Amino acid sequence: MVAMKTLTVDDRELLVNYVVSMLRNIDPEGTHIGESSAEKAISICEEYKPDVAFLDVEMPEMTGIDLAKRLIDECPGVHIIFITGHKEYAFDAFQIHASGYLLKPVSEEAIKENLDYISTLINRGDKRIEIRCFGSFEVYIDGKPVKFARTKTKELFAFLVDRNGAMCSIDMMCGNLYPDKPLSASSKSSLRNLIFDLKKTLVSYGYDDVILKNRGLLGIDKEKVDCDYYRYLSGEEEAISQFTGEYMTQYDFAEETRANLMRRFFIE
């Protein structure tokens, strides 16, 4: 594990000290501070630049969700982990792309698992594509949303991610991205424009090797991205806990995968 800087915020000072104590046991080379005031946490965040912020959800000054948004504004690369006694805020937490959601009483083992995962992300490099499929489909680099010139370009990328590394033909991509249009020279030309636009977008962010092409087939290099869906399929506990029944909600083609995930969810 790399040495990390953490910030713990809870209006109960005893809990702050308890979590900070566990963090110092887990990561003795890191720097771990705590605050019982949300406003003070915001004021120190920009200068301190924590790698991880552990936040309570219910606090008197502001909710942990609102605090997380403020901390992300001040320090875009911060990973947010909520520690709470309330399950019902999980959806709100993952809407802001929290890295973890731990229920009280929290254990040192649970905190260590989350830090180990975040440590692997830090070790992967400063610029790695982060893909969120649970909920709506979103793409981030350095914690900031990737800007796609066309909504269909983003949808094409989502389709390739959904295919889980399988190579896709032009006909397959046209059928899923233009389900109401017959396969024609026009629809194939539109798709080729999307492919060009997708590659151009990724290259502009410094990624020219995420999309694989072979004899007219297109796919995604899974090793080049960090994706909650792929981590779920690999059996990672944190990713499994993040799935709440929603998957690429804006795309109809994702329904089959969502149904498969739901079946697997109930079996597990």
Can you tell me the distance from the alpha carbon of 124 to that of 96, in angstroms, rounded to the nearest whole number?
Answer: 22
Predicted confidence (pLDDT) at residue 268 exceeds the cutoff of 80:
no
pLDDT at site 127:
46
- The stretch 47-52 carries a mean pLDDT of 91
Predicted confidence (pLDDT) at residue 183 exceeds the cutoff of 50:
yes
Summarised one tens digit per residue, pLDDT across range 78-130 is 999 999 888 888 888 877 878 889 998 999 999 999 898 888 666 655 446 89
pLDDT at site 158:
98
Model-level pTM? 0.56
pLDDT at site 134:
95
Amino acid at 145: P
Predicted confidence (pLDDT) at residue 188 exceeds the cutoff of 50:
yes
Buried b (16+ CB within 10 A) or exposed e, 158-167: bbbbbbeeeb
> What band does 53 get if pLDDT is binned at 50, 70 and 90?
very high
A 10 A CB-CB count for 214 gives: 8
pLDDT at site 121:
66
Predicted confidence (pLDDT) at residue 32 exceeds the cutoff of 90:
yes
